[in-house]
């Protein structure tokens, strides 16, 4: 989704709201995560006192495999994110990461949303916080109870 920002950059107090979905296929171009439904994106771009701010939330569900017990499960994620938008960066600035540059007064929102949500995802995927995993000897899922393997005293 492209948002044209000329009026937002030029008019203090201007607001544009958006509410749309990104298809799982579109995200698949950027990652190997298994999105089970479209990503819901809702937010706004606002010029407050000459500072143009993008604020949005994303809600989506992923089909995942637990890193400890290897069970498949689905989990819903929800993130709130924001960025300061600028037309261009002034030379001599070293805080490039704090701003999103919108060349030609246009913001390609899909790329930014997908990038942001992928960076927010946890690196360790667990079916539950206290997942016990698999027995190292027999492979039994320890979430279903103890196995019959002898306990190592160490």
What per-residue confidence (pLDDT) applies to 95? 59
- State the Cα–Cα distance between residues 51 and 53, nearest whole angstrom: 6
Count other C-beta atoms under 10 Å from residue 106's C-beta: 12
Concatenated DSSP letters of 128-143: STT---B-TTT--BGG
Q: How does pLDDT run across 16-75, given as a tens digit for each residue? A: 999 999 999 888 877 888 999 999 999 999 999 989 999 999 999 999 999 999 999 999
User: Quick check: 153 pLDDT over 90?
Assistant: no
Cα separation values, 21 from 41, 97, 150, Å:
6, 26, 52
Query: Tokens at residue 91, please?
Result: 């030379």
What are the pLDDT digits (tens) for 87-142?
A: 887 666 555 667 898 989 999 999 999 999 999 999 999 999 999 999 988 999 99
pTM: 0.82
The position carrying tokens 């360790």 is 124
Quick check: 84 pLDDT over 80?
Answer: yes
Q: Would you state the structure tokens that stand for residue 148, as one six-digit string?
A: 């019959």
**pLDDT on residue 56:** 97
């Amino acid at each position: 989704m492209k948002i044209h920002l000329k009026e937002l950059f030029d008019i203090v107090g201007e607001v544009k709201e958006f509410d749309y979905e990104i298809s799982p296929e579109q995200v698949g171009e950027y990652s190997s995560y298994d999105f089970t439904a479209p990503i819901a994106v809702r937010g706004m771009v606002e010029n407050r006192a000459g500072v143009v701010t993008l604020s949005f939330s994303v809600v989506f569900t992923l089909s995942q495999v637990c890193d400890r017990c290897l069970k498949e499960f689905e989990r819903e994620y929800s993130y709130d994110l924001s960025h300061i938008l600028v037309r261009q960066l002034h030379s001599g600035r070293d805080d490039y990461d704090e701003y999103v540059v919108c060349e030609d007064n246009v913001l390609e929102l899909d790329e930014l949303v997908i990038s942001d949500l992928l960076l927010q995802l946890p690196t360790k995927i667990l079916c539950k916080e206290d997942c016990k995993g698999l027995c190292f000897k027999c492979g039994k899922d320890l979430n279903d109870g103890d196995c019959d393997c002898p306990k190592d005293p160490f």
